[in-house]
Amino acid sequence: MGKGTKERILFSALKLFSEKGYLGATTREIAKEAGISEVTLFRHFVTKENLFISLLNKHSFLPILKELIKDYQSKPLKESLVAIATAFIKQLRENKALVKIMHAEFNRYPEPIKKVYKNLIEDTISELARYFQNFQKRGEIISIDPYILAQAFLGLFYSYFQCEEIGESERNVKFSEDFIISTYVEIFLKGLLIP
């Protein structure tokens, strides 16, 4: 099958799911938006559910995180965490509409989709947890449960992203985002270092 077609469907699906939600967007619309027939959509993705799950995987933070951890393996912890946080916020912002709508409709999703999404989050946290664990083994940071540590770290920046949504009209530009991220990471790290 033509690769371009699949990409175009995914692109249109992202747009319509973001606008109208998983439940609100119809496969007909998505096909029309992509400029292909509805049948072609099903030939590529079999079910609507499948299409949505493909989207989730495509825009997941997990592969980005894995890349970053690999690249920053030999760099100091602070530098790595800044890079991770920056990428995390960037990824959230790029999928802002989808993230927003997913949280609103989550409890109405069919079970398989819920499961995929939950696993995606858990896997991401676990990946970061494993990263923290290395530093714990080397005795560089204290030995709290690494999963909780990772959850706290991602939660910290997720809430930062959420707050940004609200201050729409005020546009708080007193500090640069880089500065805020760096400060957050410093505070977080200060709590972890061995006394």
Partner DNA sequence: TTAAAGTGAAAGTAAGCACTTACATACAAA
Partner DNA sequence: TTTGTATGTAAGTGCTTACTTTCACTTTAA
Total site size for a copy of itself, rule CB under 8 A: 19
Contact call for residues 80 and 182 (beta carbons, < 8 A)? no
Which of the choices a copy of itself, DNA, none does residue 4 contact, using the CB cut-off of 5 to 8 A by kind?
DNA
Which of the choices a copy of itself, DNA, none does residue 35 contact, using the CB cut-off of 5 to 8 A by kind?
DNA
Which of the choices a copy of itself, DNA, none does residue 59 contact, using the CB cut-off of 5 to 8 A by kind?
none
How many C-beta atoms surround the C-beta of residue 48 within 10 A? 20
d(CA 136, CA 51): 40
Interface with DNA in residues 15-34 (CB under 7 A) = 25-28
Among 192, 161, 142, 149, CA closest to 85 = 161
Contact call for residues 136 and 146 (beta carbons, < 8 A)? yes
Contact call for residues 68 and 84 (beta carbons, < 8 A)? yes
Contact call for residues 41 and 50 (beta carbons, < 8 A)? no
List the x/- string, 50-89, binding to a copy of itself by CB under 8 A: ----------------------------------------
Told to check if 101 binds DNA by CB under 7 A, we report no
141 φ, ψ to 5°?
Answer: -130, 165
Which residues would be at the binding site for a copy of itself (CB under 8 A)?
19-21, 23-24, 100-101, 103-105, 107-108, 155, 159, 162-163, 166-167, 169
Name the residues that contact DNA, by CB under 7 A: 1-2, 4-5, 25-28, 35-40, 42-44, 46-49
